[in-house]
Structure 1
Amino acid sequence: MVETRGKKKAFSESTALNAAMEVFWQKGYAGASLSDLTSSMDINKPSMYNTFGNKETLFLKTTEHYIKTKMLPHMALLNAPGLSLKTRLKNHIMSIVNMQCDASNGSAKGCYLVLCQSELASGTVPPNAAKALREVDLAPSNLYEDLFLKDKEAISAKLHLQAAKNGLAIYTLLKGTASMARTGITAIALEHAVDTMLNGLGL
Structure 2
Amino acid sequence: MTAGRKLAFDKDIALDAAMKVFWHKGYVGASLSELTDAMQINKPSLYSAFGNKEALFIQALNKYSTQVEETYFSLLYTEGVNLKQRITNFLTAIVNSQCDDQSPKGCFLCAGVSESANSDIPEAIKLVLDERIQGIYNALLDIFNTDQQAKRQGLDSNAELHARFLSTLLHGTAGLARAGLGPEQLLPVVQQGVRSLELGDNTVNP
The normalised TM-score by structure 2 is 0.90
User: 8 Å contact 1:19–1:41 — kept in the other structure?
Assistant: yes
Indicate which of 121, 124, 132 corresponds to 1:136: 132
User: 8 Å contact 1:34–1:45 — kept in the other structure?
Assistant: yes
Alignment of 1:102-141 (within 5 A): 102-103=100-101, 105=102, 107-141=103-137
User: 8 Å contact 2:17–2:38 — kept in the other structure?
Assistant: yes
Counterpart AA for 2:177: A
Unaligned runs of 5+ in 1: 3-7
Cross-structure match for 1:68: 66
Cross-structure match for 1:153: 149
The normalised TM-score by structure 1 is 0.92
Higher RCO structure (Cα 8 Å, ≥6 apart) = 2
Q: How far apart in 1 are the matches of 2:157 and 2:69?
A: 27
1:83 maps onto 2:81 in alignment = yes
Q: CA RMSD in A?
A: 1.7
Cross-structure match for 1:5: none
Cα offset for 1:124?
Answer: 2.1
Cross-structure match for 2:32: 34
Cross-structure match for 2:202: none
**Which stretch shows the higher mean deviation, 76-85 or 63-72?**
63-72
SS at match of 2:18: helix
Cα offset for 1:9?
Answer: 7.9
Cross-structure match for 2:204: none
The alignment covers a number of residue pairs equal to 196
Unaligned runs of 5+ in 2: 200-206
Alignment of 1:6-17 (within 5 A): 10-17=8-15
Q: Percent identity?
A: 41
SS at match of 1:125: coil
Counterpart AA for 2:70: L
Q: How far apart in 1 are the matches of 2:98 and 2:56?
A: 23
**Which stretch shows the higher mean deviation, 49-58 or 138-147?**
138-147
Q: How far apart in 1 are the matches of 2:82 and 2:67?
A: 26
Cα offset for 1:138?
Answer: 2.3
Name the CA shift for 1:136/1:169 in 2 (closer, same or farther; >3 Å): same
